[in-house]
């Protein structure tokens, strides 16, 4: 029985096609940005608004099970929580920026975030609220647009930019560096 040379060519052609496809799939698309042009963010909802923060500043995410109210604190401090023996203030970031915030839903999450205060030796750690389970996304730096001029001046300084889907990217470093977050008896 004589085998056809045509079948072996087909088999070789198929292997070449599959190998070529595998190489193409292994490469990043041409429109994919360099790693330096992308950062990972944690997105979360507060009311109807979607926010994002640089994931490097987020240490942990927890469901909010129990919160203790703290008297004589600014309106943006919702209370305090105990996470493994450490007490952290819980901040409504929208109220902190001087905007009106919606009522807390039944299911709330907290993001334990960390920053550096220039006048403190220890980095500031606080919790910010989220009305949903936060998600991680990749953001290309060139996809970030400047904040809208409709955003008030006070809150605009805390916003890094906005995405096409209207996700507001917060400048968490600037927020955590703001002296308003330090509550002491002398300032009250």
Distance CA 178, CA 88 (A): 17
> What digits encode the pLDDT tens for the residues 151-181?
666 778 889 999 989 899 999 888 888 888 8
Q: What is the pLDDT of residue 29?
A: 53
Q: Are strands 86-91 and 125-130 parallel, antiparallel or unpaired?
A: parallel
Whether 188 has a pLDDT exceeding 50, the answer reads: no
> What digits encode the pLDDT tens for the residues 51-103?
999 999 999 999 998 999 999 889 899 999 999 999 999 999 888 888 777 77
Q: What is the pLDDT of residue 148?
A: 73
Name all domains of the chain by residue range, CATH numbers in brackets.
35-187 (2.40.50.180)
Distance CA 105, CA 47 (A): 9
* Secondary structure (DSSP) of 140-168: EGGGPBPPPTTS-HHHHTTEEEE-TT--E
Tell me which of 22 and 169 has the higher pLDDT.
169
pTM of the entire structure? 0.72
Distance CA 68, CA 90 (A): 10
Asked whether the beta carbons of 151 and 135 are under 8 A apart, the reply is no
């Amino acid at each position: 029985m004589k085998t056809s040379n045509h079948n072996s060519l087909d088999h070789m052609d198929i292997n070449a096609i599959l190998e070529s496809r595998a190489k193409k799939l292994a490469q990043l698309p041409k429109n994919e940005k360099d790693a330096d042009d992308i950062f990972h963010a944690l997105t979360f909802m507060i009311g109807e608004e979607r926010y994002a923060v640089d994931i490097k500043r987020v240490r942990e995410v927890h469901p909010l099970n129990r919160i203790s109210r703290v008297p004589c604190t600014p309106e943006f401090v919702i209370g305090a929580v105990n996470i493994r023996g450490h007490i952290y203030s819980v901040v409504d970031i929208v109220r902190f920026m001087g905007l009106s915030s919606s009522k807390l839903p039944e299911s709330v999450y907290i993001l334990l975030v960390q920053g550096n205060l220039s006048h403190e030796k220890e980095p500031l750690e606080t919790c910010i609220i989220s009305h949903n389970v936060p998600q991680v996304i990749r953001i290309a730096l060139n996809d970030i647009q400047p904040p809208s001029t409709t955003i008030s001046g006070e809150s605009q300084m805390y916003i890094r930019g906005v995405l096409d889907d209207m996700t507001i990217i917060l400048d968490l470093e600037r927020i955590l560096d703001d002296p308003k977050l330090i509550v002491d008896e002398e300032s009250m």
